[in-house]
Amino acid sequence: MSYIEQPLSTISVFKRGISLGWSCIVPLLLLYVVTALPGLFAPLSGLGVGPHPELSALLLKLGLDLFNIFLMVWASGVSMVMLYNVATGERRSFMQSLLSVLKRTGALLALWLVTSLLIGIGLLLLVVPGIYIAVMLSMVLFPLILERRGPIDSINTSFALVKGNWWHTAGILGLTMLAGVVVYIAITAAFVSLLIGVVSLGQPVPQESDLAMLGMMITIPVVLSVFQAMLTVLANGVIVITYLNLHARNQEPGELAVELA
């Protein structure tokens, strides 16, 4: 066992978060990949049937979008709970984490709607308020799921936790986002270079070149989606450690330290 007896620096939180995310990479990567599968049916949203094909296509697209949002929110909740359990040494299975989040589905969706509206309104007000609100709301999932609070109470709890530590929290989240963007761009550039190389090698035989191009066009989005899911898991690990570190920063001297596995 290790303990956060003193508040951690931004770099320390980042390193521990990446380590935590990596320790759970396999099950959570599979979770994100599975929840992304319905996105493969997106092209079907353009297919209309019945006497009003345009209306039916619109309703189908709306239904698929809402279902994808539900899966995204649900997967994020499961990921946070599982990472939190590992970080605090709680012995809960993946299925227990999954079921605990499933029971809070309604509250999760309500929370997503409220927070999206708040951040959206903030972004309309010259962007800066939106960034400020987004950071203040970054810990909102934990009280909702772990403490079974309501959406509004969870928002208030997140504000209270981040208040006084806004710059510290923003620095961690900014570093995590920057690292993710850099890695994702590097991976994308590598695969595009590979695609160009394969096509160039296949130029003497047009049919083989076309086949290689088709294979790469199918493979690249899939591989990039897997890497994106991996980066999401690692980022969630950083958010969990940030949450625990914020509790440590808000403790009075002499209080019990936050225990980490």
Range among 36-50, 100-114, 245-259 with highest mean pLDDT value? 100-114
Question: How high does pLDDT run on average in the chain?
Answer: 78
For residue 92, count CB atoms less than 10 angstroms from its CB and return exposed for 0-12, middle for 13-18, buried for 19 or more.
middle
Cα→Cα distances 160→49, 140, 169, 248, Å: 50, 10, 13, 14
- The predicted pLDDT at position 116 comes to 83
- The predicted pLDDT at position 113 comes to 85
- pTM across the whole model: 0.80
Cα→Cα distances 50→42, 53, 55, Å: 19, 6, 9
Closest CA to 31 of 233, 244, 242: 233
Q: What would the pLDDT profile of 159-179 be if each residue is shown by its tens digit?
A: 999 988 999 999 999 999 999
Helix H or strand E encompassing 4: strand 2-4
Banded model confidence at residue 4, pLDDT cuts 50, 70, 90: low
Q: Token pair of 101, please?
A: 């989040």
- The predicted pLDDT at position 215 comes to 61
Q: Token pair of 123, please?
A: 């972004």
Q: Token pair of 228, please?
A: 């994106």
Q: What is the mean pLDDT of residues 183-201?
A: 73
Banded model confidence at residue 240, pLDDT cuts 50, 70, 90: very high
Banded model confidence at residue 50, pLDDT cuts 50, 70, 90: low
